[in-house]
Structure 1
Amino acid sequence: MTQNNSISGHWLIVSDLDGTLLDHYDYSHGPVDDLLRRLELRQTPVILNSSKTLPEMLELRRQLHNRHPFIVENGSAVFIPADYFPEMPDCARERDEFWVIETGVPRGQLLEFLQADAAEHDAPYLSFARASCEEIVDATGLTPEQALAAQRRDYSEPLLWRGSEEEKQAFVSRVSAAGLSTLQGGRFLHLLGTTDKGGATLKLMECYRNYRDTDYRLIAAGDSPNDLDMLRVADIAVIIRAPHRQPPQLQARAGQRVIVSDAVGPEGWRETIGQLFP
């Protein structure tokens, strides 16, 4: 990275979690805590955008002292705290203390597809819906409590692939033919509706611009292929290095700035975002 990267104006930061804002192995966020406090003081919202479920995100928001909207299950739904904007967006519905913009499909529809597909083509993967708590703990490193929260999904199904690459590509083709989609995350192949982190981000950006009467610009930070749709829509795309794989390849569009961290995980988040907001 070069120095003197600081920026001015009104910005939103939309960030992936695992391997980006959180450590890939122990899910710690200590390296970014001071920077998150500084961003809050300067009224720069940090929007969490992850494959995680609503219960997982609520707990992480509490730990991170984050009060802003957030996006769950790889762009499948946008949760906005009620009264965060002057009025509820037309495309939203009320759910407990949130306004929710749903862009995904119900998980039941995804499980129906998996059941029918497995009956014809076998199932060389571990599905969260069929996994035990212990199996999820072994696959993710989560605590048992966190694993149970990860199972409480509304719009997507993570698959730990155990078959060949050829079998995976055939499965992906069948998913597409059924009008659904897949995203490859850091650990799992996610089955979901035709939605992504980028599309959900743009819907939320529209709310900010409409209801805050401010011309916000967007920074997006991520570390894996399932973040590319989010990175593509950003004015500044921040790619965080992972410990054991190459950074995802992003083809910058005209006028877009792309920054790749030197450090990995939350250390890389602090390095890059910290230079933009010294």
Structure 2
Amino acid sequence: MTQLHSEAHPETDIQWLIASDLDGTLLDHFSYSHQPADATLAALEVNAIPVILNSSKTRDEMLVLRQALNNQHPFIVENGSAIFIPRGYFPNKPELAREDAEFWILEPGARRQDILAFLAKDAEKNGAPYLNFDSASTEEIVAATGLATHEAERANQRDYSEPLLWQGDEQQKLAFAARANAAGFSTLQGGRFLHVLGQTDKGRATNLLKKTYQNYTRRECRLIASGDGPNDLDMLNVADIAIIVRSPAHPPPDLPYHPSLLVTRETGPQGWADAIGDIFAADSPYPAQMRN
């Protein structure tokens, strides 16, 4: 798709936002290629429809991928723990945001050092049937993830969460999750890792960013969200239109009762591009439905 149907987002109507997972969604599950989605991403940019990258990845990882995808929009890291908005993207800094040299930063999640302090205290009493990134060597992270050495180093530059490669049984995992919750944290099972983070998720952070857009535009903001795994469900649930991108590695996650749900035929970035094209096609029921 190289052109979007212009009537799908008339200037006086709706400001569309697209929140998207990366691995297995915009990036191929095996090759990490985004090439099948490139033309669609370029068309969305021309039509002033922001694509908000929303991933379990760290800030450093996301900066590399934003550059590869020619993306200059806000992005969400570590499963909804922090939102990075380029300075000057909105007319002024959002309330409650802190800033550094490049970004305004909203932080609905917890700081990594607080999570590590909880893990250390919990391990003293209950043991640690897991390998966590902070205590792992780069070589161990490479072995656990399949990442290259430099990629593993970026993956460990975390600020808001801690991935655990669980080595205990399911009963131990449930007990650990209960203790984390009692301490004010949450756990989220990703594809390979159990993530410990603050009381946030991809959906809460997406909603917060959507409200921030709404504060700076006179048009109604509507959200399309896309993902391929269980840790994307919170984000998909808050979307006006949800796209489940089919995976070659696992069945689509279950998202019952969503009023506007697409499950792609193709996998990865090709499925993503096809779904976006279907939504903004001239004969699509979706934009007209959302204007009612």
> How far apart, in 1, do the equivalents of 2:276 and 2:147 lie?
27
C-alpha displacement of 1:26:
2.8
- Point out 4+ residue stretches in structure 1 off by more than 4 angstroms: none
Kindly indicate whether residue 112 of structure 2 is the aligned counterpart of residue 107 of structure 1: yes
Query: What are the superposed Cα offsets for residues 205-250 of structure 1, whole Å, 9 maximum, x if unpaired?
Result: 1111111222121000011111111011000010112222221111
- % same residue: 58
Q: Could you tell me which residue of structure 1 aligns to residue 227 of structure 2?
A: 222
Structure 2 SS opposite 1:228: helix
Kindly indicate whether residue 257 of structure 2 is the aligned counterpart of residue 247 of structure 1: no
> How far apart, in 2, do the equivalents of 1:141 and 1:87 lie?
41
Structure 2 SS opposite 1:105: coil
Superposition CA RMSD, Å: 1.6
Structure 2 SS opposite 1:204: helix
5+ residue gaps, structure 1, are: none
Kindly indicate whether residue 112 of structure 2 is the aligned counterpart of residue 78 of structure 1: no
Kindly indicate whether residue 251 of structure 2 is the aligned counterpart of residue 257 of structure 1: no
> How far apart, in 1, do the equivalents of 2:59 and 2:251 lie?
29
1:47 to 38, 52, 66: 52
Q: Is the 8 A contact 1:26 1:141 kept in 2?
A: no
Change (3 A) 1:277 1:143: farther
C-alpha displacement of 1:25:
2.6
Instruction: Give the 5 Å matches for 1:114-193.
Output: 114-193=119-198
Given residue 42 of structure 1, which amino acid in structure 2 is its aligned partner?
Answer: N
2:66 to 56, 61, 72: 61
Given residue 39 of structure 1, which amino acid in structure 2 is its aligned partner?
Answer: L
5+ residue gaps, structure 2, are: 10-14, 282-292
TM-score normalised per structure 2: 0.89
C-alpha displacement of 1:274:
2.3
Structure 1 SS opposite 2:33: coil
TM-score normalised per structure 1: 0.94
Given residue 8 of structure 2, which amino acid in structure 1 is its aligned partner?
Answer: S
> How far apart, in 1, do the equivalents of 2:81 and 2:264 lie?
28
> How far apart, in 1, do the equivalents of 2:7 and 2:169 lie?
45
Instruction: Give the 5 Å matches for 1:174-213.
Output: 174-213=179-218
